[in-house]
Amino acid sequence: MTITDTSTHRVEPDETQVLFEEARRRRKHRRLVSGIVAVVVILLGITIGLLATRGAGRPPRPVTPASPASASAAALAASSFSIRPVLCYAPPYAVPPGQASSAGPLPACSPATQLTTSNLQVTPDNNGVNGYTTNNIKADPQFATYPSTTSSSNMQGQDVLLPGTPSGGSNRYVLGPVGLGRGAIASARAIYINGVWAVNLLLTHKGSAQWDSLAQQTFHEITGVVVNGHVVSAPMMQPTQSSFTSFDGHLQISGAFSAHQAKAIASEL
């Protein structure tokens, strides 16, 4: 099944690739640093699991006890790709003169701006342009003075405030905890279907259950596909259907992807 991208933010060609190239450079640097540290530790006579320090950016194999290098790899894999529920839209970051940026935990989205089923009022409509109709929800102004969440503090179990891609405008997204991470993906491939490029994901058995749980919770709501701290797509969950149906471990992410972008995402996953 396919989740349809309803975001007004469009990804310009090559920007997704730029994000992945940035992630690759960071992983290369971290692998180099981890390798140097590993050599020093070995020379000191301490045995560590070198396998856990390699392949940063892929889910690490279990190591007991977990080494700092394996923990870093796990954090990088979790932050480079995830899917989170979108709670509300946020305006561009702007702090009035003489006022400090807002800090601390993010507040709850105001009731009128929450991207809930009751506010969105998604209705399947075969005569509609997209096969459904929905209300237009504005950004929540209270988040204007909050800076975007940095990648170093992009916690899996917390709400985050993230930007879209540079070409998607300056609006941002308030997202809930990670619902699906990179470790849930068994394989990925880019495909060209119905005139657009998309990425087909085959999920693990555990990942399939996690995704169905998230999809059912966010039915007729919006989820954010996060790549390296940017929301590259914000699809509506099964908007042309009147009730939720299981994805059976298969997920297709579509949007304004070029062939280059779709292949880059698939190869990275």
Sign of CA dihedral 43, 31, 185, 178: positive
Sign of the dihedral defined by the CA atoms of residues 126, 128, 130, 133, in that order: negative
Among 6-15, 73-82, 113-122, 214-223, the range scoring the smallest mean pLDDT is 6-15
**Side chain identity at residue 19, one-letter code:** L
The residue extents of the domains of the chain are 2-12+81-96+112-268, 22-76
Can you tell me the mean pLDDT for 212-217? 94
Q: What is the pLDDT of residue 92?
A: 95
Residue-wise pLDDT tens digits, 184-198 = 999 999 999 888 898
Mean pLDDT of 65-88: 56
- Cα gap 182→241, rounded to integer Å: 27
Closest alpha carbon to 166 in 8, 4, 6, 9:
9
Residue 62 burial (10 A CB sphere; 0-12, 13-18, 19+) = exposed
What is the per-residue pLDDT for 33?
Answer: 38
Q: Are 37 and 50 in contact (CB under 8 A)?
A: no
Rounded CA separation 222/9 (Å): 13
Q: What is the pLDDT of residues 247-262, one digit of tens each?
A: 999 988 876 778 888 8
Identify the weakest region by mean pLDDT among 27-31, 172-176, 261-265. 27-31
Q: How much is the pLDDT for 3? A: 60
What's the pLDDT score for residue 220?
96
- pLDDT band with cut points at 50, 70 and 90 for residue 217: very high
Whole-number percent of the chain with pLDDT over 70: 68
Report the chain's mean pLDDT, rounded to a whole number.
75
Per-residue confidence (pLDDT) for residue 167, from 0 to 100: 65
Band of the pLDDT at 154, cuts 50, 70, 90? low
Fill in the DSSP letter of residue 164. Answer: B
**pLDDT confidence tier of residue 80, bands split at 50, 70 and 90:** confident
Which of 20 and 87 is assigned the larger pLDDT?
87
Please report which confidence band the pLDDT of residue 9 belongs to, taking 50, 70 and 90 as the band edges: very low
140: nearest Cα among 167, 163, 117, 172: 172
Of the candidates 100, 103, 41, 92, the one whose C-alpha atom is nearest the C-alpha of residue 69 is 41
- Tens digit of each residue's pLDDT (9 = 90 or more) over 136-146: 999 999 999 99
SS3 assignment for 58-94: CCCCCCCCCCHHHHHHHHHHHHHEEEEEEEEEECCCC
**pLDDT the model gives residue 168:** 67
Q: Among 65-69, 102-106, 118-122, 148-152, name the one with the lowest average pLDDT.
A: 65-69
pLDDT at 79 over 90: no
pLDDT at 169 over 80: no
Residue 166 or 192, more confident: 192
Q: Tell me the pTM.
A: 0.70
